[in-house]
Structure 1
């Protein structure tokens, strides 16, 4: 596929130029920080395209809330740059470092505020800032659009909204009740969470009218995160009248469709983004 071959070339070339220095998300220390090591200091790394469309995307890699899977970070930031979208990779606090919900959401909310609050600096439209997450990062994405209030810091009254203008969920973890992903659940809410916390972090139960448009995709053969997760979330979006598009692909295990593979989700997403007037026709 010519598209994939050219994409691989562009990514290798762009990797030499696009990433800026990571920004410390909380310069005075993250709320509830357990230390001062790198694992206690979430960051936001900007990737600015040569010719931007004005749209931006907060990019949230997965890793079961126990790590950051770098294969879902820079490669996709550079792919977004090729679409004219400014990307910001969030490296958030993790359960493996002792952080439980809502620390991860606090980082995502603050990231959105910093991106939107500095829209002029990045030459982006403050009304065209989306979020894109993979696997456990898809769960954090769904939580960011469902319950951003859980990530607010007591005593702060920020003027900038953390609400994304659209969301992309790639083979997402969604439910902590139905076929939960054991590691993600443990790392996010611990070994013995109460029923209220389990429901609060089961994103299919937290959907409400007025959420931003969503694009979801999953594979039926996913052995790590069952396809029911995406189906449950899409059903909740439908019931609440939230615009969305769900793509279920028959074949492929967890992580299918990474950069450099021939998979139709890239084209399907570009088509959807054009329909949202997020990227221009070429």
Structure 2
């Protein structure tokens, strides 16, 4: 893993890169997919449970990974629209790394968990709309995500999370509150998973996002598991972190289901 600093105008942000080294004995090393990971943390912090363990899991599937250290509430600037501008900057930066690290620019994924899913969902809505994107980001986005993966996602800030005035602190502009409202025909296919018994982020977030994608005929796959709490990450002992509720053999199936979906989408090979 390598920590790197990038800039959007006068704003500096950091990323952790997990580049896969060439195997070395292949005459023609193939380009590999890349997953950009936005962990959760309620916009208060960035949880490590959804950072390196997820990045290494993607690496085990033959994919490069990057963990995006995005702006939080309490930083010097508002979270939105800066977080979308930084993510767009990161995507353009990847183009310059594609030759050295053999990145397949047609197989880039955005991956979000909880609050990180809110970033991914907003990008999939606002930044795929040409007119809206121009208002947020001056430059052309040269690398477009092929698909998204969101787990126990925050989609709509008015559905029960956050409470009190936290939504206003995330953004005073309601444009960024309800990601489902800005989905459009150019939005990307999305894999969605959550537990029905999530007591932190209501499951309705996943349902309304899938419903809007269905109405727009955007490909998606939705998995709702019968039990389990919020923030289980891989739902295995790897991300247990002292909390038994983070281990759930049934919910852990989301990873295999997701990898199968990526194969169906042509992002991972089927053999």
Q: Distance in 1 between matches of 2:101 and 2:6?
A: 16
- Cα displacement (A) at 1:53: 5.8
- 1:106 corresponding residue in structure 2: 85
Deviations, residues 165-213 of structure 1 (Å, cap 9, x unaligned): 1000111100022223237624411xxx3xxx32443101111112111
Give 4+ residue runs of structure 1 displaced > 4 Å after superposition: 50-53, 149-156
Q: 2:156 aligned with 1:161, yes or no?
A: no
Paired position in structure 2 for 1:217 = 193
SS in 2 for 1:95: coil
RMSD: 2.3
Gap runs ≥5 in structure 2: 24-29, 239-246
Contact 2:158 2:177 in 1 (8 A): no
Rounded to whole Å, the distance in 2 between the matches of 1:121 and 1:151 is: 29
Number of the residue aligned with 2:253: 264
Q: Which residue of 1 aligns with 2:15?
A: 44
The question of whether the paired residues in 2 share the 8 Å contact of 1:166 and 1:214 is answered with yes
Counterpart position of 1:123: 102
**Contact 1:237–1:244 (CA under 8 A) maintained in structure 2:** yes
Secondary structure at the residue paired with 2:106? coil
Residue 103 of structure 2 aligns to a residue whose secondary structure is coil
Partner of 1:96: 74
Gaps of 5+ in 1: 1-18, 34-40
Matched with 1:59 is 37
**Correspondence for 1:85:** 63
Distance 1:199 1:31 in 2: 23
C-alpha change, 1:166 and 1:281, in structure 2 (3 Å) is same
Q: Distance in 2 between matches of 1:155 and 1:111?
A: 12
Pair 184,45 (structure 1): closer, same or farther in 2 beyond 3 Å: farther
- Aligned 1:221-260 pairs, distance under 5 A: 221-258=197-234, 259=236, 260=238
Call closer, same or farther: CA 1:152–1:187 in 2, change over 3 Å.
farther
Structure-2 separation of matches of 1:64 and 1:151: 25
* Matched residue SS, 1:126: strand
Query: Secondary structure of 2:32's partner?
Result: coil
Note if 1:142 corresponds to 2:131. Answer: no
Local SS of the residue matching 1:125: strand
- Number of residue-to-residue matches in the alignment: 246
Normalising to structure 2: TM-score of the pair? Answer: 0.83
- 1:143 CA displacement: 1.1
**CA deviation profile, 1:78-120 (whole Å, cap 9, x unmatched):** 0000000100111011112143211111111111111134211
For 1:139 and 1:248, how far apart are their aligned partners in 2? Answer: 18
Give 1:32 shift: 5.7
Tell me which protein shows more strand as a share of its residues.
Answer: 2
Instruction: Tell me if structure 2 keeps the 8 A contact 1:73–1:89.
Output: yes
